[in-house]
């Protein structure tokens, strides 16, 4: 399921700038662009990218995630 994620990108493109977010899931068909963000304090992965999902990180920090910082399946 999608439990433990503050943001789920199911389709289309989402851009985050200058935010702190706790847990992101990028589904197949979704694209996340994160700039100058802190991805922290998640009980799940900091960012989980499922097959077919896309992730672009620019000047971001990933820390204190319950499982792994960034995981691509």
State pTM to two decimals: 0.82
Asked if residue 67 has pLDDT above 70, the reply is no
Averaged pLDDT for residues 38-66: 82
* Percent residues over pLDDT 70 in the chain: 81
Averaged pLDDT for residues 37-45: 73
For residue 4, list its beta bridge partners: none
CB 51 within 8 A of CB 28: yes
Closest C-alpha to 22, from 44, 54, 55: 44
Asked if residue 66 has pLDDT above 80, the reply is no
């Amino acid at each position: 399921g999608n439990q433990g994620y503050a943001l789920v990108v199911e389709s289309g493109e989402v851009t985050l700038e200058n935010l702190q977010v706790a847990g992101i899931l990028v589904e197949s068909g979704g694209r996340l662009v994160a700039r100058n963000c802190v991805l922290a304090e998640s009980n799940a992965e900091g960012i989980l990218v499922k097959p077919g999902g896309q992730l672009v990180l620019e000047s971001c920090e990933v820390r204190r995630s319950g499982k792994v910082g960034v995981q691509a399946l």
